[in-house]
Amino acid sequence: MQHKSLASTGCAVARSLERVGEWWSILILRDASYGMTRFDEFQKSLSIAPNILTKRLNALVEGGLLERRQYQERPARFEYVLTEAGRDFRPVLWALLDWGTRHLSPEGPTVQVVNRRTGKPARLVMVDGDTGEPITPQDFMAAPGPAATPGILSRFAFVEEKRRDPEAKPKFAASATPSA
Amino acid sequence: MQHKSLASTGCAVARSLERVGEWWSILILRDASYGMTRFDEFQKSLSIAPNILTKRLNALVEGGLLERRQYQERPARFEYVLTEAGRDFRPVLWALLDWGTRHLSPEGPTVQVVNRRTGKPARLVMVDGDTGEPITPQDFMAAPGPAATPGILSRFAFVEEKRRDPEAKPKFAASATPSA
């Protein structure tokens, strides 16, 4: 983990980043979601140094996103399988895929999410599952939740104040719930 | 940029990661999406070293996610405003927020996406915008797109082969379109 303090404001984005680790971890999760499980598969797919791969895999196991599972006895060999939390990380991968396709892939989609039944590429849209409304900045906004820390409350209060007074000076509370 | 070669397989996830930079960049984009624009706002919110913040802001400007805009003449002062591509990065932030809230926030949501009109927290779900179907692994899968590189095709072909033969050995094509 690079930034032990990232999660200290209590922000779930920061917690996710701290837990997942770094770029390599996201690419490992990507390959795992495609169906790769073994060390040499990740290693060859990512052209990553073995010692770095070992570190990243261990961090993902510790973080609860991958499970290390023995698949052979003699010699003992292990594979890495997505946990429920790891499978649940897929929307982040899809959102990154979608953004990169729209903004960085002038040649068109290199990978796409397709409907298994029809084979048709999906148009990825985030909606409110309760109402079906697309999450647009016009209709939705981020706001402190019931478990907001003083650090989070002070950031949202500042942004509110800044809307009225562009010269407002930021003063942010430190976290009330420092990360472990 | 840490991993110049990340995008070399043509994968849009890797391209996105390479473009965005690293964790700090995502937290800067988070704060920018909340409404922060100025150097000292980011600096205080993130408790980030000024030289690192400068580097990250410049990379985000170069990457086309932020625009540097002068807001004062004497002395000249600049702020950083999300571009269209930067605003469009929000689904990645929401997906990270959602994952972190569900898996790393036993105390409940610290930040949530709420409906501006009703104030009700949204239940974030990714759907196929054309059919409204939720993107579940049961109904959808990743597949090579029309612009897939040999590297991507060989990875998907391997995963397919591995499904039939768990002992299949990975052999991946190098990229036909190395990153600049």
Chain A: closest CA distance from residue B62 (Å) = 13
pTM of the model: 0.90
Q: Give the list of residues 6+ apart from residue B78 with CB closer than 8 angstroms, or none.
A: B39, B68, B69, B70, B71
pLDDT at position B5? 54
| A163 SS3 class | helix
Among B126, B140, B145, select the one facing A115 at the smallest CB separation.
B140
The residue segments making up the domain with residue B27 are 12-88
| B118 SS3 class | coil
Residues of chain A with C-beta less than 8 angstroms from the C-beta of B6: 23, 27
**Nearest of A114, A110, A125 to residue B94 by alpha carbon:** A125
Judge whether residue B179 has pLDDT over 90. Answer: no
Q: Is residue A122 assigned to a domain?
A: no
Q: Judge contact between A39 and A45, C-beta under 8 A.
A: no
Q: Is residue A18 assigned to a domain?
A: yes
The residue-averaged pLDDT of A93-97 equals 93
Q: Judge contact between B158 and B171, C-beta under 8 A.
A: yes
pLDDT at position B18? 74
Q: Is residue A99 assigned to a domain?
A: no
Last residue of a domain, one of A56, A88, A120: A88
How far apart CA B33 and CA B66 sit, in angstroms, is 11
The complex's ipTM works out to 0.90
Q: Is residue B121 assigned to a domain?
A: no
Chain B: closest CA distance from residue A67 (Å) = 16
Q: Is residue A124 assigned to a domain?
A: no
Q: Pick the residue of A103, A124, A161 with the most B CBs within 10 A to test the interface with B by mutation.
A: A103
Query: Which tokens in the block code for residue A19?
Result: 């837990």
Look at chain B and report how many structural domains it folds into.
Answer: 2
**Nearest of A130, A165, A178, A135 to residue A9 by alpha carbon:** A178
Q: Pick the residue of A82, A99, A120 with the most B CBs within 10 A to test the interface with B by mutation.
A: A99
Q: Is residue A94 assigned to a domain?
A: no
Among B44, B91, B139, select the one facing A115 at the smallest CB separation.
B139
CATH of the domain at B57: 1.10.10.10
| B127-152 pLDDT tens trace | 999 999 999 999 999 999 999 999 99
Chain B: closest CA distance from residue A91 (Å) = 6
Q: Is residue A155 assigned to a domain?
A: yes
For residue B111, the surrounding DSSP H or E stretch is strand B111-115
**pLDDT-derived band at A11, boundaries 50, 70, 90:** confident
Query: Which tokens in the block code for residue B130?
Result: 């054309």
